[in-house]
Each structure stands twice: as structure tokens, then as C-alpha cells.
């Protein structure tokens, strides 16, 4: 692709005086790009990398006004524009063959849509439903009466337990377990007795679930992952949790049972919640944050226990001053014990 073709693809403005016939061969990050590569500047903090970058061309913000070696294409949103470039330079999509592999095990009264792909050693139990053009990867397990919608992809070794449902255009990565029993026990006479987990998991349309993520079935009723939500790897969702639409649950997030999460919520990596809480729409919980009480909508919360960001930052500053405060108190005690009350040091 030439630089001119690249500018047309992303709807960007090529810098004046640039030779539009220069050919672009690869995509690369700012730190790794060299001659023949296209890269992009998504945030001002990466500008020092661009200043020393040897790429042939860079996608930059429309207001970028610095002299750099790469030819610049000015874009409204360089990150979004670069995604279009990646699509053009990506290797060919791996398309698995349609049909049922001879080693797959298909139960009784299974309903398979048109154009499905059932890969080697997949197991689909009785009365399950697989929608049109959906792919069930190798060694997947689909339980009795479970269903997967159309145009979905289950990568190898996904487990979808009995009666649980997955919507259309869902992507579930390897090792995910949907519908294992919730963690429900009652202690009777010194012994932990299991509470039956009789509900289901309901995954709505356009959800993506990362590798080794676990979503527990409800004790009764439903555990729900709302439309368009994206779950990272190693996420734990407890029984009867309700996750709203278009949420981000990042790696190692843990959500205890019966939590209600609104729409467009982000839980950053290693954050977690206590049970039976409500988290409002558009809440952001920072990394390793611990939610111990319900959170109002449209807030940013940090720390453990999770506090409004401004309050947490103020407390953090105070905590860092404890050492100096301790030293000052010790000096005050020395002065007072020596009778020098008029020589109190300043902070």
C-alpha cells in the first residue's frame, strides 16, 4: 500500500510535500517501527518515542505540530484509524471448515443451524441448540438443553453447562466455564452443606469472554452478562450476578454473588466486590479496588475500601506524610521534655 492509499483508507490528511508513492509494507509499534512501517501516536505521553522513530509514516492527531522523521498523516482519531490499517495488513483469517467432524459427539434431539462448524472431539449433549454459522471449537462441551446463538465462536475447550444460554455474535475463549455451580453452602452441625444451584447463566448478544473466566450459574433464576459486555481472562462472576450492557471487566476481577452492575461500568484489573451490592451506570473502579458498599452512578472509585477518587487521593497524600509527622511529634516531645516550649519546629 502506498502512503496516498493509506491516507485515503483512514480518511486522513497527508502532510504537504510528502511523496505519496512511498510503499508501506508492515504495521509496527512506535518502539519497534522502522523503514517501510506505519505506526501511530495515540497519546501525547508517547511523543518522545515518535521523535526518535524510524517508521516511514505515522498516523498522528490533527493538531500535531512537531517535526518528526516519519511522514505524517493527520487523523481525527489515530487509534481508530490504525485499527483500519491493521485490518488491511492482518494475515488471512483462519476459517474452520463447516460441518461436523467425525470425532464430535452429538446427542439426541440436538438442533444445529445452517453452516455450523463442530470441531474435533466437541461434545454436544441432548436437546442442545447451536445457531446458524456458529463454530464450536475442539474439545468444547455443550451441556443438555444449552443453547448458543448465531454467528458465535467458542474457542477450543470451552464448557457451557446444562440449560445455560449464549446469544448471537458471542466470542468465548479457551478454558472459560459458563454455568458451574455457584459457591453456595450452609453450615449445619459443624458441616458445610451444599445449597442446590438450580438457575442458569444467560449471556446476551455481542459479549466476549476471556480465557479461563468462570461465570457461575444462579442459585435460582439467572446470572446475566448484558449485551456488548467484555470480560477479560481470569474473571470470576458469582451466582446471581447481573452485569449490565457494554461493561468492561478486566483481568482477575472478582464479583461476589447477587451483585447488580449497571451499564458501561469498568472494573479494572484485580478489583473485586462484596456480595449483594449495586454499582451504578458508568462507574469506574480502579485497579485492585475493593468495593465494600454500593456505588452511585458516574463515579470513579479507587483503593480499598473503594472511595471516590478525590477522597482516596487526599487520604493517600496524608498517609505518605505520616513518617514526617511522626518525626515532628518526636521532636516536639524532645523539646517539651527539655522545657523549650518556645522552640516548636514547623512542619
Judge whether residue 93 has pLDDT over 60. Answer: yes
What value does the mean pLDDT take over residues 175-182?
98
- At 38-81, the pLDDT tens digits run 999 999 999 999 999 999 999 999 999 999 999 999 999 999 99
Whether 48 is covered by a domain: the verdict is yes
Per-residue model confidence (pLDDT) at position 84: 93
* Domains in the chain, number: 3
261 three-class SS: strand
Across 104-108, 333-337, 339-343, least confident range: 339-343
Residues 272 and 330 in one domain: no
Per-residue model confidence (pLDDT) at position 161: 98
Per-residue model confidence (pLDDT) at position 94: 86
Per-residue model confidence (pLDDT) at position 199: 98
Whether 109 is covered by a domain: the verdict is yes
Give the active site residue among 139, 239, 246, 276.
239
What b/e string do you get for 248-279 counting C-beta neighbours within 10 Å, with b at 16 or more? Answer: ebbbbbbbbbbbbbbbbbbbbbbbbbeeebbb
Range of the domain at 341: 318-347
Per-residue model confidence (pLDDT) at position 343: 55
CA end-to-end span of the chain = 64
Question: Domain end: 89, 118, 137, which one?
Answer: 89
Per-residue model confidence (pLDDT) at position 345: 55
Q: How many Cβ atoms are within 10 Å of 184's Cβ, its own excluded? A: 17
Per-residue pLDDT band for 114 (boundaries 50, 70, 90) equals very high
Residues 183 and 305 in one domain: yes
The answer to whether 215 and 178 have CB atoms below 8 angstroms apart is: yes
Residues 81 and 116 in one domain: no
Q: How far apart are CA 185 and CA 201, in angstroms?
A: 19
Per-residue model confidence (pLDDT) at position 304: 95
Whether 96 is covered by a domain: the verdict is no
Residues 115 and 139 in one domain: yes
CATH number, residue 120: 2.160.10.10
Residues 247 and 170 in one domain: yes
Residues 136 and 56 in one domain: no
Residues 242 and 149 in one domain: yes
Q: Report pTM.
A: 0.86
Judge whether residue 262 has pLDDT over 80. Answer: yes
Residues 273 and 324 in one domain: no
Per-residue pLDDT band for 344 (boundaries 50, 70, 90) equals low
Whether 94 is covered by a domain: the verdict is no
Question: Domain end: 50, 69, 89, which one?
Answer: 89
Per-residue model confidence (pLDDT) at position 130: 98
Judge whether residue 341 has pLDDT over 80. Answer: no
What value does the mean pLDDT take over residues 242-267?
98
Whether 95 is covered by a domain: the verdict is no
The answer to whether 56 and 24 have CB atoms below 8 angstroms apart is: yes
Residues 250 and 270 in one domain: yes
Judge whether residue 342 has pLDDT over 80. Answer: no
Per-residue model confidence (pLDDT) at position 95: 86
Q: How far apart are CA 272 and CA 189, in angstroms?
A: 31
Residues 201 and 105 in one domain: yes
CATH number, residue 7: 3.40.1390.10
Per-residue model confidence (pLDDT) at position 340: 56
Q: Whats the size of the chain, residue-wise?
A: 347
Residues 199 and 131 in one domain: yes
239 is catalytic: yes
Residues 140 and 111 in one domain: yes
What value does the mean pLDDT take over residues 230-252?
98
Per-residue model confidence (pLDDT) at position 244: 98
Amino acid at each position: 500500500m502506498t502512503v496516498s492509499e493509506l491516507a485515503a483508507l483512514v480518511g486522513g490528511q497527508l502532510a504537504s510535500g510528502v511523496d505519496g508513492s512511498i510503499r508501506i509494507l508492515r504495521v509496527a509499534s512506535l518502539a519497534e517501527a522502522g523503514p517501510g512501517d506505519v505506526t501511530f501516536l495515540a497519546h501525547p505521553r508517547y511523543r518522545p518515542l515518535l521523535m526518535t522513530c524510524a517508521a516511514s509514516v505515522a498516523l498522528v492527531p490533527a493538531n500535531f505540530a512537531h517535526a518528526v522523521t516519519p511522514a505524517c498523516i493527520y487523523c481525527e482519531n489515530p487509534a481508530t484509524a490504525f485499527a483500519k490499517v491493521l485490518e488491511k495488513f492482518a494475515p488471512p483469517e483462519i476459517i474452520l471448515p463447516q460441518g461436523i467432524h467425525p470425532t464430535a459427539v452429538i446427542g439426541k434431539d440436538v438442533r444445529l443451524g445452517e453452516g455450523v462448524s463442530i470441531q474435533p472431539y466437541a461434545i454436544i449433549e441432548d436437546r442442545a441448540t447451536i445457531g446458524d454459522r456458529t463454530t464450536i471449537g475442539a474439545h468444547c462441551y455443550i451441556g443438555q438443553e444449552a443453547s448458543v446463538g448465531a454467528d458465535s465462536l467458542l474457542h477450543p475447550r470451552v464448557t457451557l453447562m446444562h440449560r445455560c444460554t449464549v446469544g448471537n455474535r458471542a466470542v468465548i475463549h479457551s478454558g472459560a466455564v459458563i454455568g458451574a455451580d455457584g459457591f453456595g453452602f450452609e453450615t449445619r452441625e459443624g458441616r458445610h452443606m451444599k445449597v442446590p444451584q438450580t438457575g442458569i447463566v444467560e449471556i446476551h448478544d455481542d459479549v466476549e469472554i476471556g480465557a479461563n473466566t468462570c461465570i457461575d450459574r444462579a442459585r435460582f433464576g439467572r446470572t446475566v452478562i448484558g449485551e456488548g459486555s467484555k470480560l477479560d481472562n481470569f474473571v470470576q462472576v458469582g451466582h446471581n450476578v447481573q452485569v449490565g450492557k457494554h461493561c468492561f471487566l478486566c483481568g482477575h476481577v472478582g464479583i461476589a454473588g447477587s451483585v447488580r452492575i449497571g451499564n458501561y461500568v469498568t472494573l479494572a484489573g484485580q478489583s473485586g466486590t462484596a456480595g449483594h451490592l449495586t454499582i451504578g451506570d458508568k462507574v469506574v473502579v480502579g485497579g485492585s479496588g475493593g468495593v465494600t458498599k454500593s456505588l452511585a452512578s458516574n463515579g470513579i472509585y479507587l483503593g480499598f475500601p473503594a472511595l471516590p477518587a478525590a477522597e482516596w487521593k487526599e487520604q493517600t497524600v496524608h498517609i505518605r506524610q505520616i513518617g514526617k509527622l511522626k518525626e515532628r511529634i518526636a521532636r516536639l516531645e524532645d523539646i517539651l521534655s527539655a522545657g523549650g516550649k518556645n522552640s516548636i519546629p514547623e512542619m
